[in-house]
Amino acid sequence: MARKKIIAGNWKMNMTPSEAVKLVETLKPLVVNDEVDVVFCVPAIDIIPVVEAAKGSNIQVGAENMYFEEKGAYTGEISPNMLVDAGAKYVVLGHSERREYFAETSESVNKKMLKAFEHGITPIMCCGESLTQREQGITMDWIRQQVKVGFLNVTAEQAKTAVIAYEPIWAIGTGKTATTEQAQEVCAGIRACIAEIYDDATAAAIRIQYGGSVNAKTAPDLFAQADIDGGLVGGASLKEEFGKIVNYK
């Protein structure tokens, strides 16, 4: 069965709740495409108003992070239950900005992955190499490690429903998109890694996105690649351009 494309916006730390509602109103008619899952991953405080504003549309809502405990004395954190109750269906885990600025590790990402599955939230697990790692020729070693640790104790049935976002750090917010060949090569490598951990059926089912300066111009070629099942889009997801990316064909 062909994998359904999934195109997700990652709003990062942008949009107040009232700005968020306006953006959803603007984008709603532009992101209609039944062939694609369309997800807006938004700041936690925007989830409830965005879910409300997106009602009756094809927009699904996700969070940008989540904690791995159920509840308790974890000041400032947000639990899986809170996300579910607010209407979030997806959660971005292990984004490189969280790894870099908030000391997120593959081990904590793994704990969050397990919790997300437990609560029926689909994780979008990010991985990606730095420019130095690429230049040293260790891109695939590094990404295989991120994927293997991230998926520890995740069952094949769970993994089939997961999303992995390959985001080379040097391409995020820099305007430097990886070439289509580079993106396809790593996404194929990630799929091979999933086949090694699980089996071919799991590798064939899991969806792998490319992220890093995706725009309306680069999306068609990227999303036409055999192992690229859509994108995780930062900057361009805050603009009308996102409608063109969702309707990339």
**Using CB under 6 A, which of the segments 109-117, 195-203, 208-216, 219-227 binds ligand PGA?**
208-216
Which is closer to ligand PGA, CB of 15 or CB of 203?
A: 15
CA angle (200 as vertex; 197, 203 as ends), nearest 5: 70
Our finding on whether 179 is near ligand PGA (CB under 6 A) is no
The CB-of-232 to ligand PGA minimum distance in angstroms stands at: 4
Element holding 99 (H helix, E strand): helix 96-101
Closest to 40 in 3D by CA, of 56, 26, 24: 24
Residues in the interface with ligand PGA (CB under 6 A) total 13
Selected from 70, 141, 173, 224, the binder of ligand PGA by CB under 6 A is 173
3-state secondary structure of 126: strand
Three-state secondary structure readout of 221-239: HHHCCCCCCEEEECHHHHC
Beta strand 230-233 with 207-211 is parallel
CA distance 237 to 249: 17
3-state secondary structure of 166: strand
Our finding on whether 230 is near ligand PGA (CB under 6 A) is no
**Using CB under 6 A, which of the segments 53-61, 109-117, 147-155, 211-219 binds ligand PGA?**
211-219
The CB-of-207 to ligand PGA minimum distance in angstroms stands at: 15
* Residue in the shown chain whose Cβ atom is closest to ligand PGA: 234
The CB-of-95 to ligand PGA minimum distance in angstroms stands at: 6
Residue numbers annotated as active site: 95, 167
Our finding on whether 127 is near ligand PGA (CB under 6 A) is no
